Amino acid sequence: MRVVIVDPRPITGEVLRYVLAEAGNEVILVRSAAAAIRAVVEGGVDAVLLEAELPDLDGWELCKELRGRRYTGPLIFVSEQGSTRAKVRAFEHGADDFIVEPYDPAELVARVGAVARRCQRADYQAMGTVLKVGDVELAIGELTVRVAGREPVLLTPTEMRLLECLMRNSQITISRETLIERTWGYDFVGESNRVDVYISRLRKKLERDPAAPEYLHTVRGVGYVFRPAPRANVTDLDSVLAARDHHASAISAG
């Protein structure tokens, strides 16, 4: 793979480059967010590994910027900032994984490879695929979701995989464990609440009121279900309106 490492720290960046290069990857080490953006825009990048603290733009904002530029490959934090808050913030900004330093080199290489393979499979399967359930349309290749009457909203690759799983199994409750397997893979290593973080993000993008969801429903103690609100039946609505008009006419005649 061609991997970009974004790390301003002289020693840790070089160690990370050595670990990934020894595993057979082509590695580009940059020291700033601006340099990382240039490398990704030039194309051919299979994965980006980044530190949280950067001199010009923090890692979280860099994630958001790269996703906004439609970079769909893996974004993986490698940082000593291992707090739950730091990890949740990373996932909220579009990261796919968070590896806390110090790390085991073999595990790091394995996790980077696993995330990259999932992204590649998703890209291949997504070509030209549009999934529609109720009034929600998921354009998988475009990484967008649109509710009828609203503008399309851009998703991250992980958000797309999670929403696709739920939409393809509409009306069926999917456990958190199954969602983890389908979205992050059987080899997932991380926090079980990651699904909840991503569901919260999807609700902000999909629901008119995230606190009162119409599409992504929680099944307490089990998981989540995609269950769009039933659309009004046009024929039934016409009948109701005709009956109302007839009733009004009868009152006027009387």
CATH number at residue 146: 1.10.10.10
3-state secondary structure at position 77: strand
Token couple for 115 = 């995330």
Tally of domains within the chain: 2
Q: Tokens 């997504």 identify what position?
A: 126
Q: Which of the listed residues 77, 105, 125 is the one where a domain comes to its end?
A: 125
In a domain, 202, yes or no: yes
Taking the C-alpha atoms of residue 178 and residue 188, their distance in angstroms, rounded to an integer, is 11
Cα separation, 103 vs 66, whole angstroms: 25
What is the rounded distance in angstroms from the CA atom of residue 106 to the CA atom of residue 23? 9
Query: Does 236 fall in a domain?
Result: no
Do residues 92 and 188 share a domain? no
Q: What distances in angstroms separate CA 138 from CA 37, 152, 195, 237, one per listed residue?
A: 27, 9, 19, 28
Tokens of 144: 């967008």
Q: What is the mean pLDDT of each run of 10 residues along the chain (254 residues)?
A: 93 94 94 93 90 91 88 90 88 89 93 82 59 90 88 88 91 90 67 83 93 94 88 47 51 50
Q: Are residues 111 and 13 in the same domain?
A: yes
* The last residue of a domain, from among 108, 125, 142: 125
Shared-domain flag, residues 111 and 222:
no
Q: Determine, yes or no, domain membership for 94.
A: yes
For residue 252, being part of any structural domain is answered with no
The residue from 89, 105, 125 where one domain ends is 125
Alpha-carbon distance of 251 to 219, in angstroms, equals: 48
In a shared domain, residues 142 and 116? no
Gap between the Cα atoms of 17 and 64, Å rounded: 24
Tokens 């490492």 found at: 5
Task: Give the pLDDT confidence score for residue 129 in this predicted structure.
Answer: 78
93 and 18 in one domain?
Answer: yes
Question: Residue 249 domain-assigned?
Answer: no
Residue 237 placed within a domain: no
Same domain, yes or no, for 75 and 133? no
In angstroms, what CA-CA distances link 99 with 96, 112, 122, 187, 229? 10, 10, 22, 14, 39
Q: Are residues 191 and 143 part of one domain? A: yes
Same domain, residue pair 134 and 218? yes
> Does residue 9 sit in the same domain as residue 113?
yes
pLDDT score, position 44: 86
CA gap 42, 172 in Å, rounded = 42
Q: Is residue 167 part of a domain?
A: yes
Are 48 and 152 in the same domain?
Answer: no
- pLDDT value at position 235? 43
Query: Are residue 72 and residue 181 in the same domain, yes or no?
Result: no
pLDDT of amino acid 10: 86
pTM of the predicted model, to two decimals?
0.65
**CATH classification of the domain holding 88:** 3.40.50.2300
What pLDDT, on the 0 to 100 scale, is given for residue 143? Answer: 84
Yes or no: say if 184 and 118 are a contact pair by the CB < 8 Å rule.
yes
- Is residue 66 in a domain? yes
- Alpha carbons within 13 angstroms on the beta-carbon side of residue 47 total 27
Please check whether residues 157 and 220 belong to one and the same domain. Answer: yes
Structural domain containing residue 19:
2-125
